[in-house]
Amino acid sequence: MPNMSGLIAVSGATGEIGGRVAQRLAASDARHRLIVRNPEKVREPGAEIALGDFLHLDTMRDALEGADTFFFVSAPESRDRKDIQCRVVEAAAEAGVRRIVYVSFVSAAPDCTFTFGRDHWHTEEAIRASGLDFTFLRDNMYQDVLPLFAGDDGVLRGPASDGRLGAVTRDDVADVAAAVLTQSGHDGETYDVTGPRAFTMHEAADMITEVTGRTVTYRPETLEEAYASRQVFDAEQWELDGWVTSYAAVATGELDIVTDVVERVARHPATDFRDFLAMQ
């Protein structure tokens, strides 16, 4: 596909996804600007930097001024993330952005099981309503975080039942994003970005044990048990709902999605979870 021209503005540029994408854009010589709240955290020497904060829309309008494409990494989960992100879309349109590439989540819908996924659907709808060109990257759960879900006791616990998930690595997501940002032909597309196969939480625990040497097991919970076991964190209800329903969405099959998007768009095979663990 032909390369795109124009300035690419990257939000979340010091985070896990935005930071990876910034590095790939730098390697490709694509014109880009990093939107950050703390310039000291930027990992790319000599990068063009703009101060921008989703909670202060005037800073976002200034940061996006002159940008053709906005790589929109979703905000951290919060009670009002939907409203925050919809206002960011408005700021992008006011700044004259032509296209938004938004990092969403698989099976995003107004009534999807994963409560945080509903925020993504509302943001997608705001982008569609803005009239801007768009590409949605609906990522599956990240392989990177699965080993972290196991507690100090080595137990992965949650109401995922025997459901399967097509988890993907953050590096593969960044490769897809970099391709979409720098090449034409992706406007109007919604891409489910996944790993090469789906597996259960039982299988995830077995692979972590076999590859890393750390004994990890999966303990299925009911919804009631899942809420009870997380009370120790003293989190607000909206956050507990997100944690618990991330597993519940696995049980319903909403994460049992596997596509060839990584291979088709990034031009390399998607990383298998076992291979990801071996590389850590």
Kindly provide the residue ranges of all beta strands, DSSP E only, lying in 166-238, ordered along the sequence: 190-193, 199-200, 217-220
Query: How far out from the chain centre does Cα 164 lie?
Result: 19
What is the rounded distance in angstroms from the CA atom of residue 254 to the CA atom of residue 160?
A: 11
Which domains are present in the chain? 8-139+170-193+259-268 (3.40.50.720)
* pLDDT tens-place values along the chain, 280 residues long: 556 679 999 999 999 999 999 999 999 989 999 999 988 888 777 789 999 999 999 999 999 999 999 999 999 999 999 999 999 999 999 999 999 999 999 999 999 999 999 999 999 999 999 999 999 999 999 999 999 999 999 999 999 999 999 999 999 999 999 999 999 999 999 999 999 999 999 999 999 999 999 999 999 999 999 999 999 999 999 999 999 999 999 999 999 999 999 999 999 999 999 999 999 9
- 110: exposed, middle or buried (Cβ count in 10 Å: 0-12, 13-18, 19+): exposed
pTM of the model: 0.96
Q: Cα–Cα–Cα angle for 255, 260, 265, nearest 5°?
A: 120
